[in-house]
Amino acid sequence: MTTLAVRQVGPPRLTKGLDGAVRLDWDAHRALHPHPSPLTADQLVALCEEGRLHGRGGAAFPFARKVKATADSAVRRRKRTVVVVNGTEGEPGSAKDKVLLRGAPHLVLDGAALAATALGSLEIVIAVTDPAAAVSMERAVAERELGARARVVLLPERFVTGESGALVRGINGKRPVPPGRKGRASTSGVDGLPTLLSNAETFAQLAVLAGLGPQRYRDVGPPDEPGTVLLTVTGAARFPAVVETATGAPLGHLLDLCGARAGDGVLVGGYHGAWLSADVATRTRVSRAGLKAAGGALGAGIVMPLGRRTCPLGESARVARYLAAESAGQCGPCRLGLPDIAGAFAALVDGYDTAAARDTVRRAARMASGRGACAHPDGTARFVLSALEVFAPDIARHAADGGCGRPVLGVLPAETEARLRLEVDWSRCDGHGLCADVLRGTVRMDEHNYPVIPPGPVPVRLEADARRAVAVCPGLALRLVPRAPHDTPASDSSRLSGAGTPSRSVEPSRHTAGTAQVPHPP
């Protein structure tokens, strides 16, 4: 991760002192933030209720209810509790938690320690995927002399690693993917114990709330959503930054602060969020209620303006393919529905059978929603459906002209660990279609019944299927080759050239992904 600048609108709270320091050690932290007074579980619940503290990891669940559920479960089961700081931040466009973990680790630990004391917890676990954040938190644990009462766990960086069930599995030494059956960490989490689990910003907000008290905490922001919020503003922004602002601030002002134009749209809430048109975005206020009313979501506080230089459909298709590749691949909606969505979106980029492709996206999104082992299919459906609505004029232009005339710059990060790509020997291909059957949603057949092979690398999760597709090709036309250094995992599909009798060569995609000349978030 490239460290982003920290910007503030109004007096800082969470980012106090970070504008002039890389990291606040124990002494520097205590000079800025008071030591929170110990609280009982009931007092902690009352504090969070009065401060209207909600989780800042995406779901915005009332924190008081999490604390009470964990405390009640511990009493009922006669078990000790565990406090988990979720610092994994799997969203490619988010950096706010990493900024806190790297720069203000003691503020996060203040909140976690306050909760652990109130609940009588066995230990505090800080789960991260960023090595630099792990080093910072380990130093903070040592500086506070917490010993065995706190530990840092480094997990693999995947989009689904931060899902609560996947996180608990990872901490317990298992593969960090969502469990097949949904459960609550407050009932059975780390080592089967009642677990209070929330993200890094939430615990930092708890520390600020305890230090200021509910009345002063509510001095900024609207009455129903008091306090400040951290936003990661990247995308096409000239000055990408993690911004702390009072809740309810105009989104247009924050875009101006970061040198960003809404352009064709603004993605809010990350890849499980939604697109807003430029007009709507500039009139929207940054709050859960404000963004929901606009058709978006605050989510994890991600704001990604698209600008006007890149192809909106191509960018959305890259993300759709990334989300399909980043799923755990263990339930039907993820294994079948998300590849269908990605393949249909690639067809929209090419202007290929647009009406059918749109219907496929809508149908697959509808079938995926509410049926997955976790919320990944639901979030993906929200993203693609909002893209269909906001970019409807672009879809019509691609259908009429075969494109919009703009390249895909990769403004939205969608990197994977893919190592191989598919290649076709067109002198051997007879269009049997077995590769499309095996790699459903990744390979499709064109109007001449020849395969359309995505130019990007094959997602790691699909490598086994790709090898099977190579093995079943009767003409021995399909092969896997190493990913070229310049390859990007774009969704942009290459189409066969010519009309009537198909050509055996591949025409370069009209939307070949290039290297973005914009700052990339982690």
Q: Return left, alpha or beta for 476; rule: phi > 0 is left, psi -120 to 50 is alpha, else beta.
A: left
∠ CA 257-263-267, nearest 5°, is: 75
Distance from chain centroid for Cα 326:
10
Q: What percent of the chain has pLDDT over 70?
A: 90
The mean pLDDT value for 448-465 works out to 79
**Which segment of 38-47, 377-386, 398-407, 490-499 scores lowest on mean pLDDT?**
490-499
Instruction: Give the CATH number of domain 313-401; options: 1.20.1440.230, 3.90.230.10, 2.40.110.10, 3.40.50.2300.
Output: 1.20.1440.230
As annotated, the residues of the chain forming the CATH 3.10.20.600 domain(s) are 228-305
Task: Write out the two tokens for 205.
Answer: 């907000």
pTM, entire model: 0.83
As annotated, the residues of the chain forming the CATH 1.20.1440.230 domain(s) are 313-401
Strands 274-276 and 123-128 turn out to be: unpaired
DSSP assignment string, 29-50: HHHHSPPPPP--HHHHHHHHHH
Regarding the domain delimited by 22-217, which CATH topology (the fold level of the hierarchy) does it fall under?
A: Rossmann fold (3.40.50)
Confidence band, pLDDT 50/70/90 cuts, at residue 417: low
As annotated, the residues of the chain forming the CATH 3.40.50.11540 domain(s) are 22-217
Confidence band, pLDDT 50/70/90 cuts, at residue 461: low
- Has residue 494 got a pLDDT over 60? no
The three-state secondary structure class of 83 is strand
Per residue in 125-156, pLDDT tens?
Answer: 999 999 999 999 999 999 999 999 999 999 99
Q: Quick one: CA dihedral 123, 124, 126, 127, positive or negative?
A: positive
Per residue in 102-118, pLDDT tens?
Answer: 999 999 999 999 999 99
- Has residue 489 got a pLDDT over 50? no
- Has residue 487 got a pLDDT over 60? no
Q: Does domain 228-305 have CATH number 3.10.20.600?
A: yes
Per residue in 35-55, pLDDT tens?
Answer: 999 999 999 999 999 999 999
Q: Which amino acid does the sequence have at 287? A: S
Cβ atoms of residues 513 and 321 within 8 Å: no
Per residue in 266-302, pLDDT tens?
Answer: 999 999 999 999 999 999 999 999 999 999 999 889 9
Confidence band, pLDDT 50/70/90 cuts, at residue 441: low
Q: State how far the Cα of 62 lies from the Cα of 271, in Å rounded to an integer.
A: 22
- Through-space distance between the first and last CA atoms of the chain, rounded to whole angstroms: 4
